[in-house]
């Protein structure tokens, strides 16, 4: 049977889904994946303000220089160290144990200081490649964000015009190949369209 992609929905529906999971379970893991500039970090921060818990960033697990081989980049989603993320962070937290890891800093080309994470009722993993097939078994809810390609380019140009061409030539094609090869939108529990009139900000609904 072919799985159809989830229909685009509003952020409020994703929030309601997480509220339900938190009411039912002692420990909830949520993945937020999607293209660059789709609002993953913003959405994760909003959820963290609302619910608390942990937010983990896949950007902290980019490959070290010695890992950047042609064979590795040939793998869909191969340009993050998902193995280290799983071993050092995701697996311990899922087992109810504290985790410690050193984020990779692309600006300095070295590891940053060690960061400790305690188990929490809600753990959010945000970033491209967070829904890699090797990691999906850990998640209770998988959310894919979507953004129109033209809007994506507008956001990238506003954010960092100097790096725009590198995104177009290198990073966006890598992401797109990963999305297509691993069927991200089809396996997501929810697909949230962030191309909102205000420029894509995910707005938290008012409490009632």
The secondary element (H helix, E strand) that includes residue 8 is strand 8-9
**Cα–Cα distance measured from residue 64 to residue 68, given in angstroms and rounded to the nearest whole number:** 7
31 exposure class (CB count in 10 Å sphere: 0-12, 13-18, 19+):
buried
Mean pLDDT across the chain: 87
Position 93 scores a pLDDT of 98
What's the rounded mean pLDDT across residues 35-42? Answer: 92
Q: pLDDT > 70: what percent of the chain?
A: 88
> How many CA atoms lie within 13 Å of 16's alpha carbon, on the beta-carbon side?
8
**Cα–Cα distance measured from residue 48 to residue 137, given in angstroms and rounded to the nearest whole number:** 22
Q: pLDDT > 90: what percent of the chain?
A: 66
What's the rounded mean pLDDT across residues 48-77? Answer: 95
**Cα–Cα distance measured from residue 153 to residue 145, given in angstroms and rounded to the nearest whole number:** 16
- Greater confidence, 164 or 131? 131
Position 176 scores a pLDDT of 93
The CA–CA distances, whole Å, from 48 to 18, 36, 45, 204 equal 11, 20, 5, 11
What digits encode the pLDDT tens for the residues 102-121? 999 888 888 999 999 999 99
Look at 23-32, 68-77, 194-203 and tell me which has the smallest mean pLDDT.
194-203
The CA–CA distances, whole Å, from 190 to 5, 19, 28, 77, 142 equal 9, 14, 16, 20, 7
What's the rounded mean pLDDT across residues 135-161? Answer: 92
pTM of the predicted structure, to 2 decimals:
0.86
Extract the tokens encoding 158. 């506003």
Question: Which residues make Cβ contacts (< 8 Å) with residue 151, sequence separation at least 6?
Answer: 37, 195, 200
**Cα–Cα distance measured from residue 16 to residue 208, given in angstroms and rounded to the nearest whole number:** 13
- Greater confidence, 1 or 179? 179
């Amino acid at each position: 049977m072919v799985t159809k992609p989830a229909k685009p929905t509003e952020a409020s529906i994703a929030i309601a889904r997480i509220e339900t999971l938190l009411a039912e379970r002692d420990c909830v893991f949520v993945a937020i994946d999607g293209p660059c500039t789709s609002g993953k970090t913003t959405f994760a921060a909003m959820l963290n303000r609302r619910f608390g818990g942990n937010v983990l960033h896949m950007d902290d697990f980019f490959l070290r220089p010695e890992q950047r081989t042609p064979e590795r980049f040939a793998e869909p989603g191969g340009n993050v160290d998902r193995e280290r993320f799983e071993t050092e962070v995701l697996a311990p937290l899922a087992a109810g144990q504290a985790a410690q890891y050193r984020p990779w800093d692309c600006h300095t080309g070295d590891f940053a200081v060690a960061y400790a994470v305690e188990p929490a009722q809600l753990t959010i993993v945000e970033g491209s490649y967070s829904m890699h097939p090797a990691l999906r078994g850990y998640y209770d809810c998988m959310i894919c964000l979507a953004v129109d390609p033209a809007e994506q380019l507008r956001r990238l140009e506003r954010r960092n015009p100097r790096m725009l061409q590198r995104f177009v030539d290198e990073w966006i094609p890598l992401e797109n190949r990963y999305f297509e090869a691993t069927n991200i939108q089809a396996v997501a529990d929810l697909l949230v369209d962030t191309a909102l009139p205000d420029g894509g900000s995910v707005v938290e609904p008012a409490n009632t």
